[in-house]
Amino acid sequence: MRRLIDAGASSPEELRALAAKLQERRTYEDEVWRREVRPALMQSKKRGSKIVTSKPPRPGHDASRAMLGAGALLLGGTLVLIVIASQTSVVWLVVPVVGVLVYAWVLGRRVGTAGAPTPPPDAAD
């Protein structure tokens, strides 16, 4: 009742009209949820995957270009490792690889113990 009065309704007729408008809006939002969101939830539940949003891609963000860049970087790194492995002894190849793996393990343990980030205050409502 207080929300209706705060929204500008002062007489009983205005209260009824505003309440009807709010109910209509809620019905519309529920209908949209049932039509658009619920099927995606049910599909993700069946497949066990994440929900895919239907947001348009951001300008300048091309997933295929990013994948191509990552693939080229991986291919280049592999070729560099093959060249290094063919021209050096095993020690010079294994020591840096073990060092990187240990560093990644220590960093992963440090980040893992920090805990999950806290949700924003409005997400808990």
Residue 102 lies in a domain: yes
Which residues, in sequence order, are CB contacts of 7 under 8 Å at separation 6+? 18
pLDDT tens digit sequence for 77-108: 888 878 877 887 877 778 888 888 998 888 88
Given this model, what pLDDT does residue 17 score?
Answer: 80
The answer to whether residues 3 and 43 belong to one domain is yes
Nearest to 42 by CA among 32, 7, 34: 34
Taking 50 as the pLDDT cut, the residues of the chain under it are 49, 116-117, 123-125
Q: Print the domain residue range for 12.
A: 1-50
Task: Tell me if 120 is assigned to some domain.
Answer: no
CA 97/CA 23 separation, integer angstroms: 63
pLDDT value, residue 123: 45
> Are residue 40 and residue 6 in the same domain, yes or no?
yes
Tell me whether residue 39 is in a domain.
Answer: yes
**Residue 19 one-letter amino acid:** A
Q: What is the pLDDT of residue 112?
A: 66
80 in the same domain as 46: no
| Prediction pTM value | 0.30
The answer on 1 and 44 residing in a single domain is: yes
Take residue 78 and report the two structure tokens written for it.
């592999």
